[in-house]
Structure 1
Amino acid sequence: MGSVLALCVGACAGAVLRWRLGLWLNTPGALLPWGTLAANWVGAYAIGLCMAFFQSQPQLDPVWKLAIVTGLLGALTTFSTFSIEVVTLLQQGRLALAGGVAALHLTGSLVLTWLGLKTLG
């Protein structure tokens, strides 16, 4: 039961954080959905940091990793929202912008995950 509770608390916090980022940064008429990009980039860097940290602290209860990495960061980062935003741009005929948004999310997330690992690793 402790694992389920930890996962739920982390996921709830991550979902609220993602929602708040969207409210704050996804302004109507903006060129990009900045809130989704921020959620994915912050989450990518944070998961790198967390994985390096948890690898260096094997004595920690695994429930912390479950709550933070799977719960909080899993709910914070959002491939489904990113996907619908890119598909919407494609449907609008904005092919270059759709490709740019996809490249920003993928490249930025990969680089930031790597940086997160290197920061503590």
Structure 2
Amino acid sequence: MNQLIVIALGGACGSVVRFLVSSGVYQWLGRGFPFGTLAVNVIGSFLIGLLAEALILQKVTFALEYRAAILVGFLGGFTTFSSFSLETIYLIEQGALSKAAINIALSVGACLLAVWLGLLAGRSLYYYSAGMIHWQDGAFPYAIMLANALVAFLIGIVAAILLQRVEIAVEYRAAMMVIMAGVFLTLSGLYVVLYLLEHGFALETHLNLIVGVFAGNGLLCLLLLWLGLSAGERI
């Protein structure tokens, strides 16, 4: 039952984010071609490839619901094969056969490429020392922190591009950014803590280490989020 609840919550969040991203892309590039659906499917494909390595294959049992919420719920709600299919049929019915063929080729090819690149990125993070540097009385889970930072960078780029092109009041933009950053920092920090707990670093004996890694993850993600926003503003 817990898994069903977190999947439902993740799916609801993913659907809302998909609507915002696809709507923003359509306002930016127009509706002459299904750019919005293509964008969410490619972004979601890369993220599921990256996070499959960072979340599933590391087998952190404490975070079973956490993984289900992100991979099944959020990314399942964020990506949409049904919209791609419907938009392709509409293009065919309108006689735009070349656009339909391009949409099929781009959606299938780009999504497969994005998943592959995400998997490569995730696997490369864990290439050295299984993703964690150990010393006598502590450890540094660099792989998960770098994965979190990469996602933060992508969030920053997408958010900057969309917020510049979607007609939203300034106060709502600020509120969205604060909420988005707060939720991401909380969830990414929580997973880092769960990862350390799973590897035998108890709160009673390694509190300073856990708090330090949690804070470091937050600072790193904030830095990459800011860099992503700066990069997105220049696109």
1:73 aligned partner: 75
In the alignment, which residue of structure 2 is the partner of 1:54? 55
Larger radius of gyration: 2
Does the aligned pair in 1 maintain the 2:41–2:111 contact within 8 Å?
A: yes
In the alignment, which residue of structure 2 is the partner of 1:120? Answer: 122
Alignment of 1:26-37 (within 5 A): 26-27=26-27, 29-37=30-38
Question: Percent identity between the aligned chains?
Answer: 34
The residue number in structure 1 matching 2:39 is 38
**1:55 and 1:77 mapped to 2: Cα distance?**
19
Gaps of at least 5 residues in structure 1 are: none
Give the TM-score of the pair, scaled to structure 1.
0.92
The aligned amino acid for 1:48 is G
Structure of greater relative contact order (alpha carbons < 8 Å, 6+ residues apart): 1
Displacement after TM superposition at 1:63 (Å): 1.1
Letter of the 1:58 partner, please give it. Answer: K
Question: Residue by residue, what CA displacement relative to the aligned partner does 1:35-81 show, whole Å, maximum 9, x if unpaired?
Answer: 11111001000000111112442124221221001000011110110
| Residue aligning to 2:7 | 7
Which stretch has the larger CA shift, 102-111 or 46-55? 46-55
> Which residue of structure 2 lines up, in the alignment, with residue 107 of structure 1?
109
TM-score (norm 2): 0.49
Aligned length: 121
Distance in 2, matches of 1:29 and 1:74, equals 25
Summarize deviations over 1:74-106 as a string: whole Å, max 9, x none. Answer: 111101100111100000111111000111110
Task: Decide whether the 8 Å contact of 2:46 with 2:111 is kept in 1.
Answer: yes
Q: CA deviation at 1:29?
A: 4.8
Whole-Å separation in 2 of the counterparts to 1:7 and 1:68: 8
Secondary structure of 2:120 counterpart: helix
User: CA offset at residue 117 of structure 1?
Assistant: 0.4
SS in structure 1 opposite 2:95? coil
Distance across 1 between alignment mates of 2:60 and 2:71: 17
Equivalent residue number for residue 94 of structure 1: 96
Maintained 8 Å contact 1:14/1:72:
yes
